[in-house]
A and B are shown apart, each in its own frame.
Chain A
Amino acid sequence: MKKIIASTLAVFSVSFASVTQLEKELHKLYSFHALECAPKEIGKAEAYIETLKGLKIDEDGEPKVVKVSKIDSLIYENKAKIYLSKAEKKIFSDVDNDGKPCYKEVEEGTNPYIPDKTELISQKPSKTTASVEKIQGQNPEKKNQSKYTKQEETHRFKPLKTHARIHFEFDSAKIKKEYLPYLNVISRYLKTHKKLKVKIVGYTDNIGSKSYNDKLALKRAKAVRDYLIKMGVSPGRIEIVGKGKTDYLFDNKTPLNRFTNRRAEFFVMETK
């Protein structure tokens, strides 16, 4: 009898320990951007782990935890392990062959499935840098030197600069849900590049008075700033400006054009 109880307890403790171990492994992978690099594998592994922990069901209004049989728990545990190892492989693999693993690319805000051309350009001595060096050789002035190094920097961060723009609904400073993943990428990029700071400029369309639109533009910039702060970017690195009814991208004749003009733009700068 004692032997039976001891063996039952041993099996239970082993299964409990393995579930916690699997959960630890899952959390470890989460810190390496598992959701971005291997969402399918993580979803599957999580479903098996949650089943091992016990499924919740409402039986006549009372919550109840349902456990699976021991054989099934062994099968699910094995499957969870398989999917976790698959996820790990994907996280540390370099899909686009640009020399950077997936998790690193996500941290830097670049697309892990498209080769990062700008990084390659910045690593290799390109034509522009060669010409810059020639110019510096002819006129070795410090002012010029700093100017060109800045140009190089701006070239390196071009992708973020050119595409960093979000749009708003009419008379609203609320960030649309579809832009949140995009803002998350920007915040991750800013968190990994501590030397950079960002200037957010809010704009409006031509409807309404100038004073009201100036306030609304500032509100839009503020909304973006608040979100970036919430995501962990330090407030000292964010500057906001409200420009209001100026610098339209398109004429304000159609609703789509007005929507395009109602925006907040990001300008990434290097800190001194």
Chain B
Amino acid sequence: MKKLIMGFLILLFSLSVNAQTVTELLDEAQNSIKMAFEAHGNLKSPYEYSKAVTYYEIAKEETSKMNVDAGKAAALQSIEWALRAISNAYTGGEK
């Protein structure tokens, strides 16, 4: 019985750690998109900005369906594209 409870707790802990990481990444992605919007990335770099937003939507969708790995990967992509939108907005350069 003790082993069962211990196993259940470990499972809960690992799930919570995993979910927190995805949540953190989603939070980070949202912040990056917000920063890109504030830097007028949606106007100056619409391709990168819309890609970041779409990846964020995908990340939310996948995380809600418990596909944590896909959620993480999509959130990371969202962060990357949002950062590109920010840098393009400030430098005005091409990809």
Contact = CB atoms under 8 A, between A and B. Distances in A.
Contacts of B73: 55-57, 66
A184 B95 CA distance: 13
Contact of B51 (A47, A57, A69): A47
B65 A44 contact: no
Interface residues of B, number: 26
State the majority secondary structure of interface residues on B. helix
Contact of A66 (B47, B51, B54, B70): B70
A67 B72 CA distance: 12
Nearest to B50: A43
Contacts of A43: 46-51, 54
A44 B50 contact: yes
29 contacts: A35-B47, A39-B46, A39-B47, A39-B50, A40-B49, A40-B50, A43-B46, A43-B49, A44-B54, A46-B51, A47-B51, A47-B58, A48-B58, A55-B77, A57-B69, A57-B72, A57-B76, A64-B69, A66-B69, A67-B70, A69-B65, A69-B67, A72-B62, A72-B67, A177-B94, A178-B91, A178-B93, A180-B94, A181-B94
A180 B95 CA distance: 10
B92 interface: yes
B74 interface: yes
Interface of B: 46-51, 53-55, 58, 61-62, 65, 67, 69-70, 72-74, 76-77, 81, 91-94
Contacts, number: 75
A35 B55 CA distance: 18
Give the interface residue-count category, chain A: 20 to 34
A189 B47 CA distance: 23
Interface in A204-227: none
A67 B58 CA distance: 12
A42 interface: yes
Interface of A: 35, 39-44, 46-48, 50-51, 55-57, 59, 64, 66-69, 72, 76, 177-178, 180-181, 184
Contacts of A180: 93-94
A177 B95 CA distance: 10
B81 to A, nearest CB: 8
Contacts of B53: 44
B5 to A, nearest CB: 28
Contacts of B70: 51, 55, 66-68
